[in-house]
């Protein structure tokens, strides 16, 4: 496929075609995923759990992220590459610019940061310097200790209104994409319609502009043995990993995934 850019994703949103995203951490899976038609590869700090065996994303370093971003870049065949800025890598504006620069130089086309409207200045400064940003709202794993665990966010009306306002503020600050994690289905749809930028969901239902899953989850692999409600095993019934990747792309595109059982109500 032709190289995917932000313009590509914006066009997909405008014509109502769903965007496919998967986490990716190495060259082999980058090649397989991008050749299967996955438009966006996310080097997630989830690598701390699925690759390194930690119980959270917090131990992941910028060095870890840059290493895996460079690996993904070498295997990629045209997908857009997004890399997470890990825990405390954007605590100050100076840190944000330096660490985002390191991930872009490693091969990312965009960085992702977790947080609400307080990120506005950092997003503006990054965008001014040529670094596109994906903002992450809802369940933000880096703040799991404040959230009190991995819980659905936005079920209370006040929290839902704030999330809509935050999404609009982040778009106005210059965010080029938004990721919603573990958000009620109707709220995710409202946010997707409230902003012009593409909105990707995980555990946020089918009304977002696209979907993302952790690669290992969609292949039925789990260290803990626990499977989140929003996960589907796409290896089931498939003869190969390549077939499972193609099945994931097809299911997102034809909106058969996520189904009702994968979402959360308010």
Using the 8-state DSSP alphabet, how is residue 236 labeled?
Answer: T
Residue 17 annotated as catalytic: no
45 is in an annotated binding site: yes
Dihedral through CA 90, CA 213, CA 53, CA 178, nearest 10? 10
Q: Is 112 annotated as a binding residue?
A: yes
At a CB cut-off of 8 Å and minimum separation 6, what does 90 contact? 96, 99, 100, 113, 119, 122
Q: Is 61 annotated as a binding residue?
A: no
Q: Is 192 annotated as a binding residue?
A: no
**Of the residues 181, 190, 242, 261, which is catalytic?**
181
- Asked if residue 256 belongs to a known ligand binding site, the reply is no
DSSP structure string for 81-144? EEEE--TTTTSSHHHHHHHHHHHHHHT-SEEEEE-SGGGHHHHHHHHHTT--EEEEEES-GGGH
Residues of each annotated binding site: 45-46, 84, 112, 114
Residues of each annotated binding site for 3-methyl-2-oxobutanoate: 45-46, 84, 112
Residues of each annotated binding site for Mg(2+): 45, 84, 114
Active-site residues, by number, are: 181
């Amino acid at each position: 496929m032709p190289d995917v850019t932000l313009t590509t994703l914006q066009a997909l949103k405008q014509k109502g075609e769903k965007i496919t995203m998967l986490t990716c951490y190495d060259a082999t899976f980058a090649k397989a995923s991008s050749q299967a038609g996955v438009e966006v590869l996310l080097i997630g700090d989830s690598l701390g759990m699925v690759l390194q065996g930690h119980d959270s994303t917090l131990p992941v370093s910028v060095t870890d992220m840059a290493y895996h971003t460079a690996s993904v870049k070498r295997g990629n065949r045209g997908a857009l590459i997004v890399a997470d800025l890990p825990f405390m890598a954007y605590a100050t504006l100076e840190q944000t610019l330096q660490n985002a620069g390191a991930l872009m130089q490693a091969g990312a086309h965009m960085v992702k940061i977790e947080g609400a409207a307080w990120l506005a200045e950092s997003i503006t400064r990054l965008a001014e310097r040529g670094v596109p940003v994906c903002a992450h709202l809802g369940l933000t794993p880096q703040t799991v200790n404040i959230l009190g665990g991995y819980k659905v966010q936005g079920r209370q009306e006040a929290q839902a209104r704030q999330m809509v306002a935050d999404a609009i503020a982040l778009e106005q600050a210059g965010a080029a994409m938004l990721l919603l994690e573990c958000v009620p289905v109707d709220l995710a749809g409202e946010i997707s319609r409230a902003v012009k930028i593409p909105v990707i969901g995980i555990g946020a239902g089918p009304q977002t502009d696209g979907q993302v899953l952790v690669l290992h989850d969609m292949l039925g692999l789990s260290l803990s043995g626990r499977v989140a409600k929003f996960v589907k095993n796409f290896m089931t019934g498939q003869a190969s990993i390549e077939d499972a990747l193609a099945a994931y792309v097809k299911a997102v595109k034809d909106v058969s995934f996520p189904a009702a059982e994968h979402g959360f109500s308010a």
